[in-house]
Every structure is written in C-alpha cells, then in structure tokens.
Amino acid sequence: MASTPTPTAAKSETAPPRSVLRDTAFLRLWAGTTASGLATWALPFVLGLAVLHRDLGAAGLGLVLAARTAGFLAAVAVGGVLADRHSRRAVVLWSALAAAVAAPLLAAGLDRSLVLMTAAAALAGAGQGACRPAFQALTAETVTPDRRQQANAAMTMAVRSSTLAGPALTALLAAFLDVGSLLLGIGLLWLVAALVPGKGAYTAADPAAGTAPRPGFRAEFLEGIREARRHPWFLAGLAALVAVIALGYSATSVALPLISRDRYGTEWVLAAAMTAYTVGALCGALVTARLRPRSQGWAAFAGLAAYGVAPLSLMLPVHPVVVVAAYAVAGIGIELFNVPWFTATQREVAPDKLARVSSLDFLVSYGLAPVGLALIAPAIDAFGVTPVLAVCAAACFLVPAAAALVPTSRHFARTAPTTTD
C-alpha cells in the first residue's frame, strides 16, 4: 500500500527549484566558463594591439587568427568524442591547459617568429575548441534537469558579458602593460578555466563493460551523428542557426561598418549597434532564465527569426536609433533561441553522446560562419548592399519558420510534454 505524502513532502514537490547561483559546484563551473570566455574574446584584441605596436604585421595577424580558427574547428569534433569517452572534467582540464601553454608561446614569438606565433595560435584554438563541448556536457551533469535552463542562461550571460568586458578590460590594462604581459594574463585566465571547475557526476565507462575494446574515433564520431539524426528538431534548428549565422550575421558584420561610414558618416552607429546587440543578448538571457512557453521550440525559432530585423534596418534609410534598436531586438532574439536550444539538447540527447552532438552544433555553426564572411563581401561588390541584405533578411525570417514546421520542433522534444493543469 502506497504511503500518503506528508504535508512537508507535498510542499517540497511543488516548491520552485533552488537557484543555481546558490550551488557551489555550478558557480565553480560558471567561473571557469567565464574565464575561458574572457580569454577567448581578449586574444584577438591583444593581437590587434600587437599590430598597432608594430610587433606583428597585418598579414601576420590574419595568418595567426586563421590558425586559431583552424585549430578550433579541428579540435571541436575531437573534443566531443573525448568528452564522451573520458571524464568531461579531464577534457576541460587538459584543453584549457593547452590554451594556457599557448599564451606564453605567443608572447615569445612577438616580433621574433611568425611561425611560432602561428603554431601557438593553432594550439590556443584547439584548446578552446576541445573545451566547448566538454563544458556543455559538464553543465548537464553538474546541474539537475529542473535548473538547467537557469544554468544555461547564466552561462550565456557569462559569454555575452565577456564580449563587453574582455576588450574593455584589455584596453584598460594596455595603458599599464605591454602586449607580452597581456598575453601572459590570457594564459592565467585559461589556468582558471582549467583548475576551478569541479568534477561532474557522469562516468564515461560502464564498470560492467570490463576491458571490452571501444570503437574507433571515426565510429564514435559517426555514432554522434546518428544520435543527432534521431532528433528532427535538432537538425532543423541547426539548419536555421546556420542560415542566420552564415547569411544574416555575416551580412550585417560586413555591411554595418560600410553603412555606418557611408550613410551616417560616423563610427558611432557601428559601436552603438554592436553594444546594443550584446546588451540585448544579456536581456534575452535574463528573460529565458524564467520563461517557460508552452511551445518552447516555436518560441525559440521566433526569437531566432528576429535577427532578420538587423539586416532589414540596414536596407532602409532610417534614423540611426532605429538601427541600434534593431540590433538590440536581434540580440534578445538570439538568446531566446540559444538557451532553450542548449537546454533541450541536454535533456533529449543520450547522456553518453551529449558532447559529440554538442560538438556537431559548434562545428557546423562556427565552421560555416567564416564561409559566409568570405562570400558576403564579393556578393556586395557584385550585386550591391541592398539586394544582398534583402536576401539575407529573407533567409533569417523564412528558414526558422520552415524549421518550426518540422515534426518535434514545436517542443524541442521527440514527444510532447504532459501538462498538469
């Protein structure tokens, strides 16, 4: 015979989950993620200062940044497999340590060896790429399911805050420190990312499996792809995200500086719009920490489609305040998508394949972004700014709308959630 719940037990079942900000394990993970975000966003700015100080040429800067991107893309898939095969905490440790080691190597190569700087940048990018899927999976094993949306909102706020604080803090420190010292400071941030987070509850190997041989790397990576294909909402969301990043984000990144200069005759519009985008993203993360719409997937796709207002505002001869407001709306919308997207991935994907599926997310979205950037400028030269922006705005609106029609996209789940109304 089932026992009758006591009043205390009944109260605990309906009580809201405790805030993740009171969880020491999560705060350690958040601190590590924040440190890695600051280091990631500060590095291009510091290398730009090296060009200003004539320690690095413009062509050398392009080569070093390209090497970092290549290292990231090469390592993100490897990191996903390793984080599912071994301890996620260990993958975070060793990948962040690799990025930390790269910092003094970059400093040693300043104005001495471009080859050393290029190799060090590739190592830094590899460390950054390998830790991304591991951090994503470590969040799932550190935080209980009912608090993961709060946790992902806090994580994305750390990333967005880094985009504001990283360059600003670096510029402040540059008044007192040389470029080499700033690079060493980036290495210290990566040490924080490596050492501060705690260990999650996940165990990669099943003790009952004994010494059975594991499948090869390629087989495990393909297993992650098969897991992703089991979730139509994930593939639809990835397609929509790629369209917005490769077309919308790339177009606005190229067109905004041109329009700020040619139409408005000031750099203020460029700086204000980019700041508004980041502030909007922070506000979006705050909203999604509490927001629980019935049709979570549809709401997320609507937020992603909102990015289309950014290229749309650049097409029209509007007041610059309208452009700034459009970028703020785009920032809010992108986080209305990102936070539920990460939370659903952590909930729906098999735990032992989560890092591999997350690595596919980062690999495809980050990998195609440079392709979009490379193609947008020639397209603008060939067809003009307005037609290119029109196509990109249409893609931002239409592709997420089409993705929302895919089965399972309404709730970002293979089965609709039950209600308790």
Q: Which of 5-14, 165-174, 382-391 bottoms out in mean pLDDT, i.e. has the lowest? A: 5-14
Separation between Cα atoms, residue 376 and residue 390, nearest integer Å: 12
Which tokens in the block code for residue 372?
């979009």
Does residue 209 surpass a pLDDT of 60?
A: no
Q: Which of 13-22, 70-79, 282-291, 356-365 bottoms out in mean pLDDT, i.e. has the lowest? A: 13-22
Other Cβ atoms less than 10 A from the Cβ of 374: the count is 10
48-68: per-residue pLDDT in tens?
888 888 888 888 888 998 899
147-156: per-residue pLDDT in tens?
999 999 999 8
Which tokens in the block code for residue 384?
């003009």
Separation between Cα atoms, residue 272 and residue 250, nearest integer Å: 18
Which tokens in the block code for residue 404?
């929302």
Residue 234 burial (C-beta neighbours within 10 Å; 0-12, 13-18, 19+): buried
Separation between Cα atoms, residue 238 and residue 132, nearest integer Å: 17
Q: Evaluate whether 327 touches 277 at the Cβ level (below 8 Å).
A: yes
158-195: per-residue pLDDT in tens?
888 887 777 777 778 888 888 999 999 999 999 999 99
Calculate what percentage of the chain has a pLDDT beyond 90: 54
CA–centroid distance for 162 within its chain:
12
CA torsion 242-248-253-254 (nearest 10°) is 110
304-322: per-residue pLDDT in tens?
999 999 999 999 889 999 9
Q: 108-112, 196-200, 370-374 — which one is most confidently predicted on average?
A: 108-112
Residue type, 109: G
- pLDDT band, residue 114 (cuts 50/70/90): very high
pLDDT the model gives residue 200: 66
Q: Where are the alpha helices (DSSP H) in 86-201?
A: 88-109, 114-142, 148-174, 179-195
Instruction: Please report the domains of the chain, with CATH numbers, ordered by start residue.
Output: 20-145+162-200 (1.20.1250.20), 224-404 (1.20.1250.20)
